[in-house]
Structure 1
Amino acid sequence: MGLRVAAVLLPALLLAACGEYSGRSNGVSGGGNSPRSMGELFSGQVQPRLDFCRSCHIDGGAGDVEDGQDFMLHPTDKSQDMALLRLSWERLGRNNPTSRILLMASGQETPHSGGAPWPVGSDAYKAMDVLLKCFEDESACAGLLSSIGGGAVVERPLLGSRRGGHYWFDYCEGKPDNTEVPPDPRELVTPGVNAGKAVYMNAWWQTCQEDNHPGTCGELRARSERGYPLVASDGEVGAGHFFGGNYPTAFYAFDAELYNQMWDRVWKLDARPQNFDELVAERWGMPLSPTPNPYPLPDEDPNDPLKPGGSGQLPMGVTQLRNEDGSWTGKLNVTCSICHGGGVGDKGDGPGLGAMYGTNSLSDITVMFSDLARLAPQQSALALISQNKVRGTGNITNFQLFGTLTITDVPGLPGYLSIQTQPSTGTEDPPVWWNVGSRSAKFFDGGQVMDAKRIELSFHFPNTPFHFDMAADKQWILDHQQDSDAWIMSLKSPAWPENKLGEIDTALAQQGAILFHSKDLWAAKLNNPVPKPPGGNGSCASCHGAYSPRFVHDPAYLDTPLLEGIAANIVPIEVIGTDRRRLDGNSQLVALAARSNWFAYNDGEKNENGVSLCADWNDTALRGDRKLGYLAPPLYGVWATAPYFHNGAVPNLWQVLQPADRPAIWRRLSKPAPAGLEGKVVMGFDSALATGYDSTDIGWKYETLSCGVGSMPFIDCQDDPDGATIQDALSLVWANGGLAWNLINAPILTDAQVEDRKVYNSFYYSQDKGGHEFTRVLTDQERRALIEYMKTL
């Protein structure tokens, strides 16, 4: 290793390791007598903490930059540590009166990308201070050693992840059913939480119903087991389905016989393909269900004991209804998984991979409803109210749509009609469910608190819009919301599959862990042009939460380790800078209308202004002086959630961190059509890890397109600021028309139109690729380290 001199030793030592709030030492000391010698002090209390510095201050590390090269350690040979530390100390001016090694590591002198791992007064600071004074005057060392305690230091690891889900399920793992369930850590997110800490929180928890706590681990597991068929809805008894509750009948249900005719009546093929089930899944972007989800083929009896349910296999997003006695009805209906079911890789790639619940970026639900409308007219409702314009996205999380669910609630009707003049929210990429247990607020703009659970079953709201007994239909949601929420909270993110995508570079990931939690993106010398957000330490963790065991147990980061992984920071729009159409669509007028909406708890506890505490938290009567913005999501399983941003505008993580590299118009790669069916069927995105995944930049492979190629929607685009397009005119309508985004659509009649819906055009309304510009100040080496760390989450 070449030890190089640059200018400031510690700026380097911590460039890879520290920042203003970076970890207060949280290692475990063995206690005992004071160290008997300088060597004992070094080996027991200083050298173990140098491993934090070693993560970055080595050749090729994040600290191997001009300001960091004065403090370089050998990557593996620790026998050189004492000599290299002394040499660095001398180069940095010795004790003058305090060494710059301590000034940087304690945050007294900034910037330092590694934060402040040794705050003034901490055991780490004291140990290094004594050692450096011993360097200055060895004759006085014995007296100095008596001023500190003894024992060896054991630091917590930098890497580790609980993979999302809810704390309760981790706590109850392996425990008997009668074990009492502890409080929900998310309830700690109240005003004053983490005040002055590195992780900033401003999206407060609010309890919306009294029966949240399951009491025992047995009841928690029972809730989750009951919730599985309600939400997964893969042919189980009691499966939930489109506006049908979990009942064996529904207005929107249709015969499996009609589904069997799709190849002829919709696709116009000469014969039914042998792989018909797979082709349906490809066309709609909904993988075949991971469990048996049968339907009867032509001339099959769904209750044939040799073929229960039939020998066909439905995709996620469709289920066959069953009677209470378990018998099959031969009727089909769609489910929540049309938006919240997706896939990453194949089942054999690793645990949790393949078809999975609670993630998407694959489906085209408007194509699905358009196809079904040609088979079963009752399914045309959501074909008319188009739910997306780009495959893999949706347009569902806005109160303009929620209002349609209770449109027969006469008291709320005037408010609902008034908001149709407000902006449409446009394109959105459904967030993953495995992070539900780590959020205090839901929706991209934190529009409702996480405990506002009624909306989670809204797609299964019985008898919508024909509520002849509205009270009974609402009661169905109240009776099932805790079960469905428990199952959703139980889901875990998949681990990075090293056998398929390559081994994680542990050393690089450790650098990333330090940078993620410690690097202040607004440090003085970085000159970040984006306004600095309020609170926190300016790091990734400041918004997205703390994950590394080292920092999770650091009181400078979290009030309690129970807050691990919880992200509760709504970042002001002027800071995050991503497309603001979603935010504009949830206007104050919309918030006023929400006050009278049952899904916004108009019957719930109210504040001094008479507004429900579980209503729209963008309402000025609830959010107070918090600025409008977007909720930074938890990052468990982030490697598996591409594309990124709330509107799915950015293909990979590299481009999240390097805005200059984002494509303007792009299309994710599709699977090739089976032999003999080229040009006759529509295939879905390539979700295979071997062929479709970019393991370097972390996202799905894509092709960049140019304006003027092909047909709508991407022919109508240009990056000429003085030019005008048809979509510019439409944007005026969408920005002032509530459901106009959903209603103004050309009917989907050809496969070419379906293919065009795979194109992501960032010039289109609500699909801007800008934002997250503050990460431009990162170096490429730091970006690679951060990406490597995020593979571990």
Structure 2
Amino acid sequence: MLLLSACSGNYSGGTATSGNNGGTDSGTPSKTVQEFFGKSAQTNLNNCRTCHVPGGVADTDEGKLFMLSSNPNEDYDNVYDSWIALDKGVETNKILTNPSDPAQHHSGGQPWPVGSQPYNALKVVLGCWENPDSCAALLASNVSTPTAPLALLGSARGGHAWFDFCEGKSDSTVLPADPRSLVQPGINANKAVYYNAFWKDCHREPEKVGEAAPAKTCGELRTLSAQGRTLIEGNGAIGAGWYFGGNGSKGNLTAAKYNTVWEKWGLPSRPDNFDQLVAERYGMGMGAARNPYPLPGEDPNKTNGGTGQLPTGLTQTHDAEGRWTGNIGTNCHVCHSGQVGTPADGPGLGALYGNSNSLSEFGQLDTDLGGSAVPGVPIPVPIIVGKTRGTNNALALQIITFLVAGDLRPLDPNFIGFTVFTPNGGSLDTPAWWNMGHRPTKFQDGFLAMDALRADFGFFLPGPGPDGFGWVKEHVRAGDTWLMSLKSPAFPGPINTALAEQGAVLFHSKNLWAEGLDNPSPKPEGGNGSCASCHGAYSPRYVNDSRYLDTPALEGVASYIVPRDLIATDKWRVDSDSEAAEQYGKEDFFAYPETINSDPNLDCSTQNRAEIRQGRAPGYLAPPLYGVWASGPYLHNGSVPNVMEILNPAERKSIWRRVSTPARFDQLGKVVMGYDTNFQRAYDKEKLGWKYDALACGAPGTTPYLDCDPANQDADPALGQMINILNSSNPFLWYLGLAPSTDQQLENRKIYNTHMYGQSNVGHTFTSVLNEQERKAILEYLKTL
């Protein structure tokens, strides 16, 4: 079948003749046709020119019969030649049918719907070529001026639309509706972008909730954001928050104890680069802003906090009078913030707040100090976070419900059964904060509504009960406002704009289930089958196309929970969010039980209960893709190191290890370094992700038959399968195992083994039907987001 495509197609066949320019023996007024072509049709060809040029993604054996050039002056001859090669005709010619008829499976979508100006204009031109005698009448009845298409490239870079709206406006300016609130049942029905999870207003009855309402003006937005920044950013600010202490003065450990941790590293003396080595060993970013603590012998109140520099995941506290305490608190950034390059690499780079910290090994700090960061724990209980450096299990639903909620239900056998036998969620990679303003639901599986703010402050909770819950209610709105203000950084390397534009067309228009592609995965129930169908629309050309979004305000909003068996990624996070977890979770303080309602559209508590889902299958939320280049590794469990391997599953490795920061020459073999965040040295600009080494079964750090099968690297070893079955039967077994006690054991935690429970790298195979050139184009486009 002959297929015309703005980015791909089949035009194999004969050789076109050229030079006619529309003139025939019967006397077609070729100059008039050319004038009409230049006035009414040629501008529309810029859409085709994105891909149908030499070197473009349509420059293939199949696409040779519709090719333009970079010179618009050649368009008339080139289109005429293509018309001849495609067997002439008018409404049956592929030049018209492929970009207008959805049945043609045009990879570039249907930019020229039947009856549109581009369609009608080219129909006149083809009519004149087909029947010169009728040309004068056709030209007389079809006078139209094309509209230049909107840009293919452009990005809000995440955040929330309110902050863009308020740029340069007065404090009294009233805010528009929250774009996320527009995502309601029925939104985008039959559109290219599909939604099946919807916004819930958890604060519609403020007297019940007892929390601050969202900002109504730009001034209120700025005030709340500034308050939230003080609380969450850290850096020793008065009022900075810390784990299990709110913003009190106690902290999780003292500077005196912190100053001795190098002794646990086996070093003979305190290294001169101690601060950097702390960040490396425990997997935290090192920010450029001052974040002080007192060195041995320093009085923090005589040295403005001290002359040491804490990594972003730690902050020094103050007492009620604003004096430095010398106590250090652990904050959100140990899991949620990391580092990409340095400020010298580009604006906004270096330590990045909320970029999904794939560096983290902060539980080792507890191990090295011989205690626990959790206040009130009388015996040393080091927190073992995840099975691999950079992952965590912060959403272990049973653990959260059991330990934090303050409602143990000890006499309820169903509750005991839930906590003991529901599967553990396994390893997780935290979603990026800068996408919060474009998500109506939160967490990997849409467990809670985005407006259910308290869950974001679960680890700030200064003890359960009214006092602790009251602290969360008092502070959570400000914290959430700052979080949703954050923007993703711009890609700091060069971008091939022409290739990125081709990627934009493919991303928004290519139906991955088109006839002939034989996609092995089942097709989602809605949308147009493109990447944008699940992940949202970003390009100005498509954001402003009513066939994609009901309103341009929905730019970048993603709210499709892909059924578990359709996305086919590691299932344990979804399965741990069982009906029992949902039912017990709905009464938890963090789930807004005040909103429980017989109307599922008003109930803001746990969102995956059967009565709330109303037939929607549990699954994983396709995230917005702002700053996706900076937020690897990928999938909900961080099992895929780069975006290229998301698009091409065949390239995924079973066992891999991200490269580490090189140690200083005099410290080689004496210290544990973290993952390398040097953009020039460690970032793979072609594949979009961090460089890594693939490991064979039996490589140091792996145990054959336990960690891998020597005979088949891709197969789960029999002993490992047995352990995985046990983990799937009890949420607590997954945590068993000793914390690393040697540097080598700590180094081994850098190995990502996809055979382990909760760490599979399968699924998201839709894109296996893309060819290499298409993948490169989409990757180049993703750099622009």
TM bucket (normalised to shorter chain) is: over 0.9
Go from structure 1 to structure 2 and tell me whether the alpha carbon gap of 1:378 and 1:248 turns closer, same or farther (over 3 Å shift). closer
Residue in 2 aligned with 1:791?
783
**Structure 2 CA distance for aligned equivalents of residues 187 and 37 of structure 1:** 52
Q: Does 1:54 align with 2:53?
A: no
Gaps of 5+ in 1: 1-6, 18-35
Deviates further, 707-716 or 675-684: 707-716
Report if the CA contact (8 A) 1:669-1:703 is conserved: yes
- The CA distance in 2 between the partners of 1:188 and 1:405, in whole Å, is 36
Partner of residue 103, structure 1: 97
Post-superposition Cα deviations, 1:450-474, rounded to whole Å, max 9, x if no partner, equal 11111011110012xxx4xx11211
Instruction: Give the deviation of 1:716 after TM superposition.
Output: 2.4
Task: Tell me the residue number matched to 1:357.
Answer: 353
Q: Go from structure 1 to structure 2 and tell me whether the alpha carbon gap of 1:750 and 1:12 turns closer, same or farther (over 3 Å shift).
A: same
CA contact (8 A) 2:91 2:97 kept: no
Picking from 768, 772, 785, the partner of 1:780 is 772
* Aligned residue among 625, 628, 639 for 2:618: 628
Determine the C-alpha separation between the residues in 2 that align with 1:493 and 1:259.
32
Q: What CA RMSD, in Å, does the superposition of the two structures yield over aligned residues?
A: 2.3
Structure 1 residue aligned with 2:185, among 177, 183, 191? 191
Relative to 1, partners in 2 of residues 1:222 and 1:382: Cα closer, same or farther, differing over 3 Å?
farther
Match of 1:541 among 528, 532, 536: 532
Aligned to 2:367: 370
Please name the residue that 2:124 is paired with. 130
Match of 1:422 in 2: 422
State the distance in 2 between where 1:315 and 1:758 align: 20
Q: Note closer, same or farther for the CA distance 1:715–1:430 as it changes in structure 2 (3 Å cut).
A: farther
Q: What residue is the counterpart of 2:292 in the other structure?
A: 294
Q: Do the aligned partners of residues 379 and 766 (structure 1) sit closer, same or farther apart at CA in structure 2, a change above 3 Å counting?
A: farther
Q: How far apart, CA to CA, are the structure 2 residues paired with 1:396 and 1:334?
A: 15
Rounded to whole Å, the distance in 1 between the matches of 2:704 and 2:39 is 63
- 1:608-757 map, 5 Å: 608=599, 613-711=603-701, 716-719=706-709, 720=712, 724-742=717-735, 744-757=736-749
With over 3 angstroms needed to count, the CA separation of the structure-2 counterparts of 1:723 and 1:318, relative to structure 1, is closer
Larger mean CA deviation between 725-734 and 361-370 belongs to: 725-734
705 and 108 in structure 1: CA distance in 2 versus 1, 3 angstrom threshold: closer
Superposed, 1:152-301 pairs within 5 Å as: 152-210=146-204, 211-249=212-250, 253-264=252-263, 266-301=264-299
CA pair 146-471 structure 1, distance change in 2 beyond 3 A? farther
Aligned mates of 2:56, 2:700 — CA distance in 1: 45
Instruction: Return the alpha-carbon distance in structure 2 between the equivalents of residues 237 and 63 of structure 1.
Output: 58
Partner-residue secondary structure (3-state), 1:660: helix
d(CA) in 2 for partners of 1:374 and 1:715? Answer: 34
Residue among 61, 76, 84 paired with 2:78: 84
Instruction: Give the superposition deviation at 1:172.
Output: 0.6
Pairing 1:329–2:325 present: yes
Rate the CA distance shift 1:406–1:764 in 2: closer, same or farther, 3 A. closer
Task: Determine the structure 2 residue equivalent to 1:482.
Answer: 477
Shift of 1:389: 1.2
* Mapped contact 2:227–2:478 kept (Cα < 8 A): yes
Aligned residue type for 1:428: L
Q: Which residue of 1 aligns with 2:492?
A: 497
Query: How many angstroms apart in 2 are the aligned matches of 1:375 and 1:585?
Result: 26
Equivalent position of 2:209 in the other structure: none
Query: Which residue is equivalent to 1:511?
Result: 502
Partner Cα distance (1:540, 1:147) in 2:
40
In structure 2, C-alpha distance between the alignment counterparts of 1:108 and 1:477, rounded to whole Å: 51
SS of the residue 1:106 aligns to: coil
Matched, 1:449 2:442: no
Residues 441 and 450 of structure 1 are in contact (CA less than 8 Å); yes or no, is this contact kept in structure 2? yes
Q: Would you say 1:116 and 2:113 are equivalent positions?
A: no
**8 Å CA contact 1:229, 1:236 repeated in 2:** yes
1:151 and 2:118 equivalent? no
Q: Size of the alignment, in residue pairs?
A: 753
Cα displacement (A) at 1:602: 1.7
Q: CA deviation at 1:65?
A: 2.3
Counterparts of 1:436 and 1:792, CA distance in 2? 19
Per the alignment, do residues 412 and 182 of structure 1 end up closer, same or farther by CA in structure 2, a change over 3 Å counting?
Answer: farther
Q: Which moved more, 1:664-673 or 1:362-371?
A: 362-371
SS state at 2:168 partner? coil
| Amino acid of the structure 2 residue aligned with 1:92 | L
Given the alignment of the two structures, is residue 11 of structure 1 paired with residue 1 of structure 2, yes or no? Answer: no
Q: Which deviates more from structure 2 when the two are superposed, residues 581-590 or residues 210-219?
A: 210-219
Q: Residue 600 of structure 1 contacts residue 615 of structure 1 at CA under 8 Å; is this kept in 2?
A: yes
AA aligned opposite 1:761: N
Identify if the C-alpha distance between structure 1 residues 376 and 570 changes in structure 2 by more than 3 Å, giving closer, same or farther. Answer: closer
> Displacement, 1:726?
3.9
Do the aligned residues in 2 keep the contact of 1:114 with 1:519 (CA within 8 Å)? yes
Distance in structure 1 (CA, Å) of the matches to 2:399 and 2:115: 55
Change (3 A) 1:519 1:487: same
Partner of 2:393: 395
Relative to structure 1, the CA distance from residue 413 to residue 617 in structure 2 (aligned partners, 3 Å threshold; closer, same or farther) is farther
Residue type at the aligned position of 1:770:
V
Distance 2:750 2:305 in 1: 34
Distance 1:55 1:311 in 2: 55
Q: Give the whole-Å Cα distance in 1 for the aligned partners of 2:126 and 2:376.
A: 75
How much does 1:285 deviate? 0.9
1:475 positional shift: 1.3
Q: Does the C-alpha gap of structure 1 residues 255 and 735 become closer, same or farther in structure 2, counting only changes over 3 Å?
A: same
Look up the equivalent residue of 1:443 and give its one-letter code.
F
**What per-residue deviation string (whole Å, max 9, x for no partner) do you get for residues 713-755 of structure 1?**
787222448874443232122101123323x121321111110
* Gap change, CA 1:739 and 1:146, over 3 Å in 2: farther
1:549-576 Cα shifts (integer Å, max 9, x gaps): 0000001100010000011111112221
The aligned residue for residue 315 of structure 1 is 311
In 2, the alpha carbon distance for the partners of 1:404 and 1:229 equals 30
Report if the CA contact (8 A) 1:666-1:703 is conserved.
yes
Per-residue CA deviation, residues 643-685 of structure 1 (Å, 9 max, x unaligned), is 1111111111111111111111000000121222222110011
8 Å CA contact 2:660, 2:674 repeated in 1: yes
Give the share of equivalent positions with the same residue, in percent.
45
CA contact (8 A) 1:412 1:596 kept: no
Q: 2:102 & 2:60 partners in 1: Cα distance?
A: 21
What letter is aligned with 1:584?
Answer: D
Distance, in Å, in 2 between the alignment partners of 1:417 and 1:148 is 75
Measured after TM superposition, the shift of residue 365 of structure 1 is: 2.6
Change (3 A) 1:379 1:229: farther
1:139 positional shift: 3.9
What whole-Å deviation, never above 9, does each CA across 1:692-717 have from its counterpart, x for those lacking one? 11111111111111112224578722
Question: What's the offset of the Cα at 1:176?
Answer: 1.1
Any conservation in 1 of the 2:503–2:779 contact (CA below 8 Å)?
yes
Q: Deviations over 1:315-369 (max 9, x none)?
A: 1111111124321011112111110120001111111100111021111132233
Once residues 410 and 63 of structure 1 are traced to their aligned partners in structure 2, the CA distance between those partners, rounded to angstroms, is 61
- 8 Å Cα contact 1:179/1:217 also seen in 2: yes
Q: C-alpha offsets along residues 219-244 of structure 1, whole Å, 9 cap, x if unaligned?
A: 10111000012112221010000111
2:307 maps to amino acid: S
Residue 98 of structure 2: SS of its match in structure 1?
A: helix
Change (3 A) 1:56 1:413: farther
- Secondary structure at 2:104's aligned position in 1? coil
